[in-house]
């Protein structure tokens, strides 16, 4: 399980940087899908924006293409990727 | 009436003239190389199609884009043996970057002297600010007017990467409507840091150079250049200068996403079908398609699907190619340069090839690709262009012997709704007539909670938000086929400065990909079409302080010529600390100017479209480059009583005095809506609302700026038959 502090930080970042105004970061579930139906409904342009933000804030580079897919599944997977990259 | 191409000009990475470019394309040459114009930093690809030997004049107010446009324009004029001064000649220029390359160094100076803002005058800062007027979309047009004019009318437009195609479509409507005898039209764009880092941030650049329709393609290659053409009515053209005919044109919007194409290609298909219908041709008449073919993973299969649906079983017959692996994607200029290539392909009977295509993508395998030039007669050809925001356009060219079907009848225009957005509030319908009685409160527009759907609007920048509110309220319920024209004088200057700040401080990997599209001048029209679901033509036009009048005229032309039944048109302007500082330096007004923000939109329809009318619009007259003599005489006189004059600002008073409306009561809107470049659109909305409500029997609106101007009249609607 990724640290709750990190997942909270990611949620706040998503809401402010993707301009999800009206959305309370606390209501985003750790494992809710970021893309497509039934989740945050983000798209590929958001993915690029998130990759840039993660690199800026956490100094880790998100891989591109198929490798990025599992990382971008949810807030949890994104947090796990950041923790994994930081510790390696 | 048949429209003919009588002159072509182009500057590309492959050559300084149209014919050199075409000949090198026919040989399969690629003009790609490492970027040398500036150091782009850590971007996904430094491979570009740059015009390396461009000699710039020493005048620091001249932009690279305008120089490219001027060279291509001179070539096209010489090719057509056109005497601009002896006939009524129009100019239509499309663009996206305009003076961006120069603006980048100006903004760098502004950022480095930021601490001194508001303090004692700083000569370096003032010099930089005074050069900012090379930045707007209208600046390259202004330069061409100055160097080559005077022109009977001139227009600056943007629909992102379909700007060049739309410039030709607008030029064609001018010839159809009979307002000019010849048009110089096309588009130009130069490479710049914002564009290279922006496309890099979008992951849209192929490090190996663009490979359209190839299975291994990874993106586009940016290019720069200009394409210009001279169009005339065939009856007026010298036979020996005819290159080919322009038979049809069509524009549609995807209303889908700011950067990603809608996967089925419905809007490109509709644009091509509309262009064919206008040309009086069937898909079976088409012998060549000059594809948009960018080489991005999403564009090419989408385009292949649209072509499969257009040609159905015949798709394997029609040769298709894209030159973007040779001359790069020249953005706005692409549609114009590709129009030149298509025209020369028809003239010479040579199908130009696609470069970089080795392994055809299975999703594009049903197309008949051309990888080396083929000699074969071309009776008619399509050139397609698709832009950011889903603004799609298609042109149909024919062999010089091929004539167009009978022209469409010119249609009257009615106003069906209006909305004004001011710092004092948002007003719609005939209540807009009351706007001049109020006084602007504060400088900024307050967007109330709930005025926009927060989730749908999350990517919209401020100009687009104001535009979406004004268009939505003027239109009411959205019907299929509605288009939008927005006048935007300066565009997102402060957002561009912010983007540049990140680029300077953190490098190209750290610019915000989602904010890049807002820096493209056509974005407000794109975002409005996406937000409201408008699938008709979408354009931004720019004409500094008369951008609102320009937008309404542009919409009227498209309706009158039969391209579209319904449009919303007007202007929007956002507050900008930089623009305000520029204006105070340029006009030596000292300190902060009174510039505010806001805008207005009128909903327009063809008089025969069956939409309930609030008022009827008379013909709008216009002039460019100071030649206002006799223009006002082209307006109908006011009624014996009850005529009023509505102005955005007081600048147009002189023109009113030169008209038969000089004794009518005058209303100036700037005090109520705030002083900004969109004030003229407020005047038009107020004029229409006053007539619609019966406050006036007729109204004249007039706007003028730097020797350009527009005037038109509003009348009660014709009684229902």
Task: List the domain boundaries for chain A.
Answer: 4-87
CB B360 within 8 A of CB B368: no
Q: So what's the pLDDT on residue B257?
A: 95
In whole numbers, what is the pLDDT of chain A averaged over residues?
A: 92
How close is the nearest chain A Cα to the Cα of B282, in Å? 37
- List pLDDT tens digits, range B190-214: 999 999 999 999 999 999 999 999 9
Q: Is it the case that residue B342 has pLDDT exceeding 90?
A: yes
Confidence of residue B60 (pLDDT cuts 50, 70, 90): confident
Interface of B with A (CB under 8 A): 201-203, 257-260, 454-455, 458-459, 506, 509-514
Phi/psi zone of residue B88: left (φ > 0), alpha (ψ -120 to 50 degrees), beta? beta
- CA–CA gap between residue B285 and residue B382 (Å, rounded): 10
According to DSSP H, which parts of B561-698 are helical?
577-586, 653-657, 670-673, 679-692
Q: Is it the case that residue B654 has pLDDT exceeding 90?
A: no
Q: Is it the case that residue A34 has pLDDT exceeding 50?
A: yes
How close is the nearest chain B Cα to the Cα of A62, in Å? 12
In whole numbers, what is the pLDDT of chain B averaged over residues?
A: 95
- CA–CA gap between residue A75 and residue A57 (Å, rounded): 15
CB B168 within 8 A of CB B339: yes
Q: Which residues of A touch B510 (CB under 8 A)?
A: 52, 55-56
Interface of A with B (CB under 8 A): 18-22, 41, 43-46, 48-49, 52, 55-56, 64
Q: Is it the case that residue B719 has pLDDT exceeding 60?
A: yes
Q: Supply B465's token pair.
A: 């938000």
In this prediction, residues B649-664 reach a mean pLDDT of 92
Among candidates B455, B506, B514 on the partner chain, residue whose Cβ is nearest the Cβ of A45: B514
Which of B205, B455, B460, B507 is the best residue to mutate to test the A interface, defined by the most A CB atoms within 10 Å of its own CB? B455
| DSSP label at residue B644 | E
* Residue in B closest to A15 by C-alpha: B458
Number of Cβ within a 10 Å radius of residue A79? 24
- CA–CA gap between residue B50 and residue B32 (Å, rounded): 7
According to DSSP H, which parts of B178-240 are helical?
193-201
Q: Do A56 and B455 touch (CB under 8 A)?
A: no
Q: So what's the pLDDT on residue B439?
A: 84
Phi, psi angles (nearest 5°) of residue B248: -155, 160
Q: Is it the case that residue B119 has pLDDT exceeding 80?
A: no
Among candidates B259, B509, B510 on the partner chain, residue whose Cβ is nearest the Cβ of A45: B259
Element (H, E) at B251: strand B244-253
Q: Is it the case that residue B113 has pLDDT exceeding 80?
A: yes
Q: So what's the pLDDT on residue B720?
A: 63
Q: Is it the case that residue B91 has pLDDT exceeding 90?
A: yes
Confidence of residue B593 (pLDDT cuts 50, 70, 90): low
Active site residues of B: 161, 292, 329
* Residue in B closest to A44 by C-alpha: B260
- List pLDDT tens digits, range B672-695: 998 899 999 999 999 999 999 999
Task: Determine what percent of chain B is predicted with pLDDT higher than 70.
Answer: 99
Q: Which residues of B touch A43 (CB under 8 A)?
A: 257, 260
In this prediction, residues B508-534 reach a mean pLDDT of 97
What size, in residues, is chain B?
Answer: 721
CB B622 within 8 A of CB B719: no
CA dihedral B9, B15, B21, B26 (to 10 degrees): 170
- CA–CA gap between residue B511 and residue A46 (Å, rounded): 13
Q: Is it the case that residue B591 has pLDDT exceeding 50?
A: no
Q: Do A55 and B455 touch (CB under 8 A)?
A: no
Q: Which residues of A touch B43 (CB under 8 A)?
A: none
Q: Which residues of B touch A56 (CB under 8 A)?
A: 506, 510
How close is the nearest chain A Cα to the Cα of B223, in Å? 23
Helix (H, G, I), strand (E, B) or coil at B483: strand
**B664-684 as b/e: b if 16+ CB within 10 A:** bebbbbbbbbbbbbbbbbbbb
Q: What is the DSSP string of B688-715?
A: HHHHHTTS-SEEEEEEEETTEEEEEEEE
How close is the nearest chain B Cα to the Cα of A1, in Å? 29
Q: Which residues of A touch B514 (CB under 8 A)?
A: 18, 45-46, 48-49
How close is the nearest chain A Cα to the Cα of B95, in Å? 24
CATH code assigned to A4-87? 1.10.1200.10
Q: So what's the pLDDT on residue B473?
A: 98
Which of A17, A24, A52, A61 is the best residue to mutate to test the B interface, defined by the most B CB atoms within 10 Å of its own CB? A52
In this prediction, residues B39-51 reach a mean pLDDT of 97
How close is the nearest chain B Cα to the Cα of A65, in Å? 10
Q: Is it the case that residue B341 has pLDDT exceeding 60?
A: yes
Q: Do B257 and A19 touch (CB under 8 A)?
A: no
SS3 content of chain A, % helix, strand, coil (to 5): 60, 0, 40
Q: So what's the pLDDT on residue B245?
A: 98
Q: Which residues of A touch B512 (CB under 8 A)?
A: 49, 52
CB B151 within 8 A of CB B84: yes
- CA–CA gap between residue B31 and residue B112 (Å, rounded): 36
Can you give the pTM of this predicted structure?
0.97
* Domains observed in chain B: 3-99+134-398 (3.40.47.10), 413-715 (3.40.47.10)
Q: Is it the case that residue B592 has pLDDT exceeding 70?
A: no
* Residue in B closest to A56 by C-alpha: B510
- List pLDDT tens digits, range B440-498: 778 899 999 999 999 999 999 999 999 999 999 999 999 999 999 999 999 899 999 99
- List pLDDT tens digits, range B389-419: 999 999 999 999 999 988 788 999 999 999 9
* Residue in B closest to A45 by C-alpha: B514
Cα dihedral B114, B119, B122, B125 sign? positive
- CA–CA gap between residue B251 and residue B255 (Å, rounded): 13
Q: Do A52 and B510 touch (CB under 8 A)?
A: yes
Q: Do A45 and B257 touch (CB under 8 A)?
A: yes
ipTM score of complex: 0.95
Residue of B494, B512, B262 lying closest to B389 (CA atoms): B262
């Amino acid at each position: 399980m990724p640290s709750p502090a990190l997942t909270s930080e990611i949620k706040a970042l998503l809401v402010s940087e993707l301009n999800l105004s009206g959305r309370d970061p606390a209501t985003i579930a750790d494992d809710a899908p970021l893309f497509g139906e039934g989740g945050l409904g983000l798209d590929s342009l958001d993915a690029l924006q998130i990759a840039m933000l993660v690199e800026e804030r956490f100094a880790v580079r998100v891989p591109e293409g198929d490798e990025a897919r599992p990382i971008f599944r949810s807030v949890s997977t994104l947090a796990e990727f950041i923790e994994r990259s930081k510790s390696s | 009436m048949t429209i003919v191409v009588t002159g072509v000009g182009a500057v590309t990475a492959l050559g300084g003239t149209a014919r050199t470019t075409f000949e090198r394309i026919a040989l399969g040459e690629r003009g790609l190389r490492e970027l040398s114009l500036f150091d782009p930093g850590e971007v996904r690809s430094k491979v570009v199609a740059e015009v390396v030997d461009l000699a710039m004049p020493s005048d620091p107010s001249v932009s690279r884009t305008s120089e490219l446009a001027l060279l291509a324009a001179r070539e096209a004029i010489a090719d057509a043996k056109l005497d601009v001064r002896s006939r009524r000649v129009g100019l239509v220029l499309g663009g996206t970057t305009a003076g961006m390359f120069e603006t980048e160094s100006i903004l760098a100076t502004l950022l480095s002297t930021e601490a001194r803002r508001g303090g004692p005058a700083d000569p370096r800062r003032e010099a930089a600010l005074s050069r900012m007027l090379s930045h707007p979309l209208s600046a390259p047009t202004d330069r061409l007017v100055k160097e080559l004019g005077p022109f009977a009318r001139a227009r600056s437009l943007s629909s992102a990467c379909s700007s060049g195609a739309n410039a030709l479509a607008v030029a064609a409507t001018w010839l159809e409507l009979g307002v000019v005898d010849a048009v110089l039209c096309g588009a130009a764009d130069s490479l710049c840091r914002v564009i290279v880092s922006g496309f890099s941030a979008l992951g849209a650049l192929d490090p190996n150079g663009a490979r359209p329709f190839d299975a291994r393609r990874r993106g586009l290659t940016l290019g720069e250049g200009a394409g210009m053409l001279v169009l005339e009515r065939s009856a007026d053209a010298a036979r020996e200068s005819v290159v080919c005919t322009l038979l049809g044109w069509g524009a549609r919007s995807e209303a889908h996403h700011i950067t990603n194409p809608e996967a089925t290609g419905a809007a490109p298909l509709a644009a091509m079908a509309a262009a064919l219908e206008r040309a009086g041709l069937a898909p079976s008449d088409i012998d060549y398609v000059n594809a948009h073919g960018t080489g991005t993973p999403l564009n090419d299969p989408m385009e292949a699907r649209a072509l499969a649906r257009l040609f159905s079983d015949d798709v394997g017959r029609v040769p298709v190619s894209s030159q973007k692996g040779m001359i790069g994607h020249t953005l706005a200029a692409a549609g114009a340069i590709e129009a030149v290539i298509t025209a020369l392909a028809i003239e010479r009977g040579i199908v130009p090839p696609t470069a970089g295509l080795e392994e055809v993508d299975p999703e594009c395998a049903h197309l008949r690709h051309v990888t080396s030039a083929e000699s074969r007669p071309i009776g008619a050809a399509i050139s397609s262009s698709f832009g950011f925001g889903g603004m799609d356009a298609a042109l149909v060219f024919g062999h010089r012997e091929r004539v167009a079907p009978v022209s469409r009848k010119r249609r009257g225009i009615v106003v069906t709704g209006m909305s004004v957005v001011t710092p004092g509030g948002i007003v719609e319908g005939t209540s807009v007539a009351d706007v001049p009685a109020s006084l602007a409160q504060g400088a900024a527009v307050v967007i109330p909670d709930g005025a926009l759907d927060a989730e749908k609007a999350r990517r919209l920048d401020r100009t687009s938000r104001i535009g979406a509110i004004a268009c939505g309220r003027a239109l009411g319920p959205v019907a299929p086929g509605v288009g939008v024209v927005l006048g935007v004088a300066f565009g997102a200057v402060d957002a561009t400065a912010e983007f540049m700040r990140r680029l300077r401080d953190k490098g190209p990997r750290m610019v915000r990909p989602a904010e890049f599209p807002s820096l493209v001048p056509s974005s407000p029209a794109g975002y409005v079409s996406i937000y409201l679901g408008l699938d008709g033509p979408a354009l931004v036009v720019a004409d500094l302080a008369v951008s609102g009048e320009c937008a309404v005229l542009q919409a009227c032309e498209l309706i009158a010529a039969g391209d579209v039944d319904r449009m919303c048109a007007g202007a929007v302007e956002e507050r900008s600390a930089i623009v305000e500082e520029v204006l105070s330096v340029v006009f030596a007004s000292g300190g902060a100017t009174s510039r505010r923000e806001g805008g207005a939109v009128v909903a327009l329809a063809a008089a025969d479209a069956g939409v309930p009318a609030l008022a009827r619009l008379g013909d709008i007259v216009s002039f460019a480059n100071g030649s206002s003599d006799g223009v006002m005489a082209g307006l109908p006189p006011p009624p014996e009583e009850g005529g009023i004059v509505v102005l955005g600002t007081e600048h147009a008073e002189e023109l009113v005095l030169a008209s038969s409306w000089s004794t009518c009561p005058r209303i100036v809107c700037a005090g109520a809506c705030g002083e900004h470049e969109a004030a003229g659109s407020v005047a038009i909305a107020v004029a229409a609302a006053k007539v619609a409500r019966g406050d006036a029997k007729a109204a004249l609106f007039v706007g003028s700026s730097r020797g350009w101007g527009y005037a038109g009249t509003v009348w009660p609607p014709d009684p229902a038959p």
